[in-house]
Amino acid sequence: MRHSKLQQQVLVLYRQFLRAAQNKPGFVPRIRDEFRENARIKKTDVMHIEYLYRRGQRQLEQLRDANTKQLGSFSKPERPAETL
């Protein structure tokens, strides 16, 4: 099945992110995780996808900026799932 217009845009964004993150340590694993995570969103949930796309574009601009240097993380041990 061919990709829809929106899917193509998201793939282009993914490629742009990976290219921009080439010389900056720590970004590539996070970019991969975020896109993998959000790939679960249903194709029909267009509002959510477009919101994430717009946010992604802003984050890409910031990544491209020469003053952004690297990505690290602070983490805590995993908590058990909260029952809602």
Closer by beta carbon to another protein, 23 or else 70: 70
**Binding of another protein by 69 (CB under 8 A):** yes
**Binding of another protein by 50 (CB under 8 A):** no
The kind and range of the H/E element at 34 are: helix 27-38
**Binding of another protein by 61 (CB under 8 A):** no
Closer by beta carbon to another protein, 3 or else 65: 65
Q: Positive or negative CA dihedral for 39, 49, 31, 29?
A: negative
**Binding of another protein by 22 (CB under 8 A):** no
Q: What is the DSSP letter of 39?
A: T
| Integer CA distances (angstroms), 14 to 17, 30, 33, 60, 66, in order | 5, 12, 11, 10, 19
User: Site residues (CB under 8 A) for another protein?
Assistant: 30, 45, 47-48, 55, 58-59, 62, 65, 67-84
